[in-house]
Amino acid sequence: MRTDKIRNFCIIAHIDHGKSTLADRLLQMTGTISDREMTEQVLDSMDLEREKGVTIKASAVRMLYSAKDGESYELNLIDTPGHVDFNYEVSRALEACEGAVLVVDATQGIEAQTLANLYLAIDSNLTVLPVINKIDLPSARPDEVADEVGSLLGFPPEEILRISAKEGINIDQVLEAVVRHIPPPRGDENEPLTALIFDSHYDPYKGVVAYIRVMQGSIRAADTLRLMAAQTDVKPVEIGIFSPNMKPTERLTVGDVGYVATGLKTVQECRVGDTFTSAATPAKAPLPGYRHPKPMVFAGIYPVENDDYSDLKDALEKLQLNDASLVFVPEKSQALNFGFRCGFLGLFHMEIIQERLEREYDLDIIVTAPSVEYEVVTLDGAVSRIDSPAQLPDEAIIQEIREPWMNLQIFTPTEFYGTVMDLVTKRRGSYKSQEYPAPNRVQLNFEIPLSELIVDFFDDLKSRTKGYASMDYSFLEYRPGNLVRLEIMVGGEPVDALTAIVHKEDAYHKGQRLVTKLKDIIPRQQFDVAVQAASGGRIISRANVRAMRKDVLAKCYGGDITRKKKLLEKQKKGKRRMKMVGSVEIPQEAFMAVLRLEED
């Protein structure tokens, strides 16, 4: 295929505006997937994606399209996730494309990630093709939304496509517009090869499969390739395209999107952002690549049974092969023994990893409360970073604790102005400025500590604004805070994994709430268990979990042993989510209790 017959584009949008559904229609219309093979959001192939109805991982697919001009085109589409946590997936996908289809929900209008992803696309010099989706819905207001989008992009509102991905309305126009408005890739087939790795996944048979976009030159299946950053040479197991499943080809040429199955066993050897070149005639310089995403929240993950440590390690390594943004290092906790300190892009990312460990790897794990990364200045002037409250040095030698602050943009209908202000102020945020990007819409700009953002902030915002507000945030700076350690003792022993860093004014109140909650969460044991909270060397609160006196099924009725056994198995299952700390069994919820002390 000649380069001028290739179009590389991604679909970007705010979460749930219908990217994956639009991808479905495009795949159908181009005959890439037959009606028989079609399922809803077919590119969301992971179990969790299907269950949650959310795209977690970007996916690429090649389509062949016969346009109205009588020519045949190769369209490479990348569907991207909309959730804030997976922003970096979008920015990577953009580097592999010349254009982006920006989907905007006709009932919701512009939202925070509409803007965030649009700006990313503009930064990457992509041609943006706006489409307004869900026009089939009675509450759709396509004209208004077209005005909003039009003024944002400087695009005549009447030229913006209005579609329904679900009902398949005007999908042909999207394909035509892609062919007409999105430029073909530039580049020269005769130059030395440069191919950008924009994603990867791990295949047990083929090793790390790198998703690539060929920028210059071409690849043949038999070529020996060089990873320019890693400085390793690879003889590919196979090369190919996604259609949408992996389909081997003999050749990938300039402008193409496809994959290289490397046979490599670890991601370190084949990093997303690296450049493939030819070992025989290498290019002079690699492509710019990406900044590696920085984890925002950190939590400990521990096996319930110490024996499962190496299984957990294996599982994390495997997950990392498909998700380079997951970072982890071994960690030892006095209470929980050996485990891993893991870094995540956000709380949603953390939940996904937790669920995948439990479901795909059948592991019983304990996850500690997520924390941000603090900067601690000790009296000797040394500055260290800690991502776990347990690592906080002795208070006597601390000069200052600094916490990360974020720029926060909240996008909301003007009627919720007051309640949004109230929410942010309650969480120690401060107002900076406002903009009115569309009629009846306000963008409020704040600064807020990240620790206030990670827990339920988004849920709170959604419920206060009937689902209409959306948000985006980015790192601002570290600022000193009046922070102290809140320590928890169970059965007289300090439990490092329950330690929290809290604002000094909240310490007393939070300590009391936490103890009350823990008293209810920790099940009765064989003996009385004291639960205490301490801060600044003072016990703030104390409660007692009384000993369990009786726990036995009385009757074995008429030889019905099965039923009895089922009851025991159920009881045992409950224990699978508890960790022995000293001689006390502590359930998973206890480690999360510190997060939600405001409620009820």
Partner 1 sequence: MEPVAVYLHIPFCQTRCGYCDFNTYAGVQQFIPAYVDALCREIEQVAAAAPAPLAGKTVFFGGGTPSLLSSPQISQILRCLSSNLDLSGCAEISLEANPGTVDEERLAGFLEAGVNRLSLGMQSANPAELSILDRQHQPGDVQAAVAAARNAGFANISLDLIYGIPGQDMDSWLKTLRAALELLPEHLSLYCLTVEEGTPLEEQIKNGSVQKPDDDLAADLFTAALELLNQDGFERYEISNFAAKRGGLLMTCAHNLTYWRNQPYLGFGAGAHGCADKVRTANVKPIPAYLSAVTSGKAKVFPAGPAAENIHCQSDWEIIEETMMLGLRLTGEGISARGFQTRFGRSIESLFPRQIQHLTARGLVEWDGETLRLSQQGSMLGNQVFLEFVGNRPPPDFQ
Ligand X SMILES: Nc1nc2c(ncn2[C@@H]2O[C@H](COP(=O)(O)OP(=O)(O)OP(=O)(O)O)[C@@H](O)[C@H]2O)c(=O)[nH]1
- Within 8 A by CB and 6+ apart from 302, the residues are 312, 333, 336, 337, 338, 339, 340, 365, 366, 367, 368, 497, 579
- Within 8 A by CB and 6+ apart from 207, the residues are 237, 261, 262, 263, 264, 265
Cα 103 to Cα 415: distance, rounded to the nearest angstrom:
25
Candidates 7, 134, 356, 513: give the one binding ligand X (CB under 6 A): 134
Nearer to ligand X, 142 or 370 (CB): 142
Q: How far apart are the first and last CA of the chain?
A: 63
Q: Which does 569 bind (CB under 5 to 8 A by kind): Mg ion, ligand X, partner 1, none?
A: partner 1
Nearer to ligand X, 30 or 55 (CB): 55
Q: How far is the CB of 112 from partner 1 (least distance, A)?
A: 44
Candidates 17, 62, 271, 485: give the one binding ligand X (CB under 6 A): 17
Q: Which does 18 bind (CB under 5 to 8 A by kind): ligand X, partner 1, Mg ion, none?
A: ligand X
Q: For residue 20, state whether it binds Mg ion (rule: CB under 5 A).
A: yes
Cα 165 to Cα 534: distance, rounded to the nearest angstrom:
56
Neighbours of 520 (CB within 10 A): 12
Q: Which does 555 bind (CB under 5 to 8 A by kind): ligand X, partner 1, Mg ion, none?
A: partner 1
Q: For residue 117, state whether it binds ligand X (rule: CB under 6 A).
A: no
What residue type is 54 in one-letter code? V
Q: Nearest residue by C-beta to ligand X? A: 82
Name the segment binding ligand X (CB under 6 A); options: 51-59, 230-238, 285-293, 585-593. Answer: 51-59
Q: For residue 53, state whether it binds ligand X (rule: CB under 6 A).
A: yes
Neighbours of 378 (CB within 10 A): 15
Please say whether the dihedral angle defined by the alpha carbons of residues 29, 34, 38 and 44, taken in this order, is positive or negative.
negative
Residue 480 pairs in a beta bridge with 402
Residue in 193, 254, 201 with CA at minimum distance from that of residue 224: 193
Candidates 292, 385, 538, 565: give the one binding partner 1 (CB under 8 A): 565
- By CB under 6 A, what part of segment 64-93 binds ligand X? 81-82
- Within 8 A by CB and 6+ apart from 543, the residues are 515, 516, 518, 519, 530, 531, 532
- By CB under 5 A, what part of segment 41-80 binds Mg ion? 55
Q: For residue 560, state whether it binds partner 1 (rule: CB under 8 A).
A: yes
Name the segment binding partner 1 (CB under 8 A); options: 59-67, 116-124, 309-317, 549-557. Answer: 549-557
| Phi, psi for 44 (deg, rounded to 5) | -80, 85
Q: For residue 83, state whether it binds Mg ion (rule: CB under 5 A).
A: no
Q: For residue 556, state whether it binds partner 1 (rule: CB under 8 A).
A: yes
CA R_g for the chain: 27
Q: How far is the CB of 178 from ligand X (least distance, A)?
A: 18
Q: How many residues bind partner 1 (CB under 8 A)?
A: 26
Q: How far is the CB of 523 from partner 1 (least distance, A)?
A: 11
| Phi, psi for 136 (deg, rounded to 5) | -70, -20
Q: For residue 102, state whether it binds ligand X (rule: CB under 6 A).
A: no
Could you list the residues that contact partner 1 (CB under 8 A)? 526, 546, 548-562, 564-565, 568-569, 571-573, 575, 583
- The site for ligand X (CB under 6 A) is made up of 13, 15-21, 41, 53-55, 81-82, 133-134, 136-137, 164-166
